[in-house]
C-alpha cells in the first residue's frame, strides 16, 4: 500500500481519477490535480515546503520531487511527464513539459511550456528555460527549438500513454 502521510498536520490531497503505485510515497503539503499518476518507488516529499501538481501529470518510477526548507517550492503545470529516476527540486515546470529519464532540475529553475528536458540533463540552479525548446547536457543548454511534431509525438503521447497505463491498475 502506498505511503501517504501527513507532516505537521498537513495531509496530501489527490484529485479525481489518480493512480498511486503501492510502493510510492507522498507526504506533507502536496496538492495533486486530476488524472495524475505516481509510479513505483516515486517519492513526492512535501515535508519542508509545498508541492503543487496540475492535471494529467505522471511521476514515473523512482522519480523524486522535493523542495528546500523555507526557500523553494515545486509547481508543476498540466500535462507534465517526469521521467524515470528524474529529480525535480524546488522549481517551476509549466504546461506540456517532458522531463527526461534521469534528468535533474534544481532549485529556482523555471521550465517554460512545450519544452523537453532531455534524459540525463542537469538544469543548474536558477536556469530559466524558455518555452518551446529542448535542453540537454551537463549543464543543460538549449540544443534546438521544438517542433509541433515533437510536442504531439513525445510530450502529448507520453502523458496520454501514462493516463492509459494507470487505467490498467484500477
CB 91 within 8 A of CB 103: no
Per-residue pLDDT reduced to its tens digit, 57-110:
999 999 999 999 999 999 999 999 999 999 999 999 999 999 999 999 999 999
CB 123 within 8 A of CB 139: yes
| 61 CA to centre of own chain | 11
Domains of the chain, with CATH numbers?
3-167 (2.160.10.10)
Beta-carbon-side half-sphere exposure of residue 98 (alpha carbons within 13 Å):
25
Q: Residue 150's pLDDT band (boundaries 50, 70, 90)?
A: confident
What is the chain's length? 170
What's the predicted TM-score (pTM) here? 0.97
Pairing of strands 64-66, 43-53: parallel
Rounded CA separation 144/146 (Å): 6
Amino acid at each position: 500500500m502506498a505511503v501517504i502521510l501527513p507532516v505537521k498536520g498537513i495531509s496530501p490531497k489527490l484529485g479525481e481519477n489518480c493512480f498511486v503505485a503501492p510502493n510510492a510515497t507522498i507526504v506533507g503539503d502536496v496538492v495533486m490535480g486530476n488524472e495524475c499518476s505516481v509510479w513505483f518507488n516515486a517519492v513526492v516529499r512535501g515535508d519542508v515546503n509545498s508541492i503543487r501538481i496540475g492535471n494529467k501529470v505522471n511521476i514515473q518510477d523512482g522519480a523524486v520531487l522535493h523542495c528546500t526548507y523555507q526557500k523553494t517550492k515545486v509547481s508543476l503545470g498540466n500535462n507534465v511527464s517526469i521521467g524515470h529516476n528524474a529529480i525535480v527540486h524546488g522549481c517551476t515546470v509549466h504546461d506540456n513539459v517532458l522531463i527526461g529519464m534521469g534528468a535533474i532540475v534544481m532549485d529556482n529553475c523555471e521550465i517554460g511550456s512545450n519544452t523537453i528536458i532531455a534524459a540525463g540533463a542537469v538544469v543548474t540552479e536558477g536556469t530559466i528555460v524558455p518555452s518551446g525548446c529542448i535542453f540537454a547536457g551537463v549543464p543543460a543548454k538549449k540544443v534546438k527549438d521544438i517542433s509541433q511534431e515533437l510536442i504531439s509525438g513525445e510530450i502529448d503521447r507520453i502523458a496520454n500513454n501514462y493516463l492509459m497505463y494507470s487505467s490498467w491498475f484500477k
